Amino acid sequence: MIIVQKYGGTSVADLDRIRNVANRVKATRDAGNQVVVVVSARAGVTNRLVDDAKALLPHPDSREMDMLLSIGEQETIALTAMALHALGVPAVSRTGAQVGIRTDQEFTKARIVQIDGGDIKQQLDDGKVVIVAGFQGVAPSGDVTTLGRGGSDLSAIAIAKAVGADVCQILTDVDGVYTADPRVVKDARKLDEISYDEMLELASLGSKVMQARSVEFAKKHGVVFEVRNSMNNNPGTIVKEEVASMEDVVVRGVAVDKNQTKVVILGLNDQPGTAARIFTALSQANVNVDMIVQNVGRDGVANLTFTVPADDAFKAEKAVENIRDVLGPKLKVMTDRVAKVSVVGIGMRSHSGVAAELFTAFAKAGVNIQLISTSEIKISVAVDVDKADEAMRVAHAAFSL
């Protein structure tokens, strides 16, 4: 079998952990498998590089940023190869470009447009373990790009697809995907399986187990994968296409994202085209907007509220300020940090009353709801950051997860 194993930052944090990875890879290979390893930067390295860059200037050039950030993974591939050599296992490291991870030109959040795998297959057939740098690709210009924070997950799934892997494992510092963050919710449970759509919602809602874009890619290309612990041999969580029985569970999990900013725009001209202008400006600035609430206009003025990832708040504010002339003479923009708490489950499609149950539970606990948004399989509520953990516990208990 061809097995792709992806090890995250905490699993390669220091030399002992890297030796642990090498031992696991050796065991997998000794069992008769061909192994491709995808690694992240060592825990904290990418953040440290970001901090260094921002200490020099607040908004560094994104091409230079990728040149910088890509080195974290390159350190890990070489060290992992050496750790395998120390065990007598033939292994070779490869950069993203070397395995043909071709992306667009969007530095810091590049999209994969094509991946051919380079010489991975040949190296495997020669008996080697191939260790690939996650998180990075190469733009048409030849420049190194990165795939967005947490992008090593995407690298692993894309490589699993490219080499036609039989198994793709995402090895991390938890046993799998939980019904809620076990550090916050004491009785959170590990799930044996979850559908792509639920995982996608949980990932994009900030339950940080995996990068959302990697789940999107897995769904699109039908790559089944398992999230499991790199420090033990417990079975993990299988992420796959949904099967009918999954609908029996109404709420699969609860997630919280504390990194949201609420942008409130007051004094907008109440006329056709205003919202179009704002959201066009935001999309041109590459800002992902999430919850949107527009109030009923009065006396020719309207208010609009939306949420964006906190990192994009500066860009969002600037984009709106830039077109203030066409938006209204009394325009006022305010921002405020919020947390988004969400309940997710494909069973919501066929069960009613989930919103009522959730809001009642929040009311009893005295959690104030600032904004609400829903989709077919989720309900999200923006709350005070201070109330986020409590809101998560309340929601978890309300659906007896």
Chain positions 117 to 136 lying near ligand ASP, rule: CB under 6 A, are 134-135
**Residue placing its CB nearer to Mg ion in the complex, 211 or 269:** 211
Chain positions 149 to 178 lying near Mg ion, rule: CB under 5 A, are 150
Helices (H), 253-384: 274-284, 313-322, 324-327, 354-365
**Residue placing its CB nearer to ligand ASP in the complex, 117 or 150:** 150
**Residue placing its CB nearer to ligand ASP in the complex, 103 or 274:** 103
Of these, 117, 118, 151, 176, which contacts ligand ASP (CB under 6 A)? 151
Q: Which stretch binds ligand ASP (CB under 6 A): 29-37, 38-46, 236-244, 350-358?
A: 38-46
**Residue placing its CB nearer to ligand ASP in the complex, 133 or 358:** 133
Beta strand extents in 101-224 (DSSP E only): 101-103, 112-115, 129-133, 136-138, 144-146, 167-172, 193-195
Judge contact between 378 and 344, C-beta under 8 A: yes
List the single partner that 328 binds among Mg ion, ligand ASP, none, CB under 5 to 8 Å by kind. Answer: none
Name residue 2's beta-bridge partners.
Answer: 34
Of these, 8, 100, 117, 236, which contacts Mg ion (CB under 5 A)? 8
**Residue placing its CB nearer to Mg ion in the complex, 147 or 319:** 147
Q: Counting contacts by CB under 6 A, is residue 70 touching ligand ASP?
A: no
Q: Which helix (H) or strand (E) holds 62?
A: helix 62-69
**Residue placing its CB nearer to ligand ASP in the complex, 69 or 381:** 69
Amino acid 5 reads: Q
Of these, 33, 72, 269, 317, which contacts ligand ASP (CB under 6 A)? 72
- CA torsion 16-18-19-21 (nearest 10°) is 130
List the single partner that 362 binds among ligand ASP, Mg ion, none, CB under 5 to 8 Å by kind. Answer: none
What is the x/- site pattern for Mg ion, positions 134-153, by CB under 5 A? ----------------x---
Adjacency order of strands within the sheet including 371-375? 292-294, 301-309, 253-269, 332-344, 378-383, 371-375
Q: Counting contacts by CB under 6 A, is residue 206 touching ligand ASP?
A: no
Amino acid 228 reads: R
Judge contact between 34 and 3, C-beta under 8 A: yes
Cα-Cα-Cα-Cα dihedral sign, residues 338, 370, 386, 400: negative
**Residue placing its CB nearer to Mg ion in the complex, 44 or 235:** 44
Please state, in angstroms and rounded to a whole number, the distance separating the CA atoms of residues 126 and 29. Answer: 13
Spatial CA neighbour of 60 closest among 316, 68, 322: 68
**Residue placing its CB nearer to ligand ASP in the complex, 310 or 355:** 310
- Closest approach of ligand ASP to the CB of residue 109, in Å: 11
Task: Give me the long-range contacts of 239-243 (CB less than 8 A, separation at least 24).
Answer: 239/177, 239/193, 239/194, 239/195, 239/196, 239/199, 239/215, 240/193, 240/195, 240/196, 241/195, 241/196, 242/195, 242/196, 242/197, 242/198, 242/346
Q: Which stretch binds ligand ASP (CB under 6 A): 12-20, 92-100, 148-156, 160-168?
A: 148-156
Q: What token pair was written down for 88? A: 């007598």
Q: Counting contacts by CB under 5 A, is residue 72 touching Mg ion?
A: no
Q: Counting contacts by CB under 6 A, is residue 137 touching ligand ASP?
A: no
Number of residues that bind ligand ASP (CB under 6 A): 12
Cα-Cα-Cα-Cα dihedral sign, residues 216, 308, 388, 251: negative
Amino acid 193 reads: E
- Closest approach of ligand ASP to the CB of residue 111, in Å: 15
**Residue placing its CB nearer to Mg ion in the complex, 39 or 83:** 39
Q: Which stretch binds Mg ion (CB under 5 A): 6-14, 74-82, 329-337, 376-384?
A: 6-14
Q: Counting contacts by CB under 6 A, is residue 41 touching ligand ASP?
A: yes
- Residues interacting with Mg ion, by CB under 5 A? 8, 150
- Residues interacting with ligand ASP, by CB under 6 A? 9, 40-41, 46, 72, 134-135, 149-153
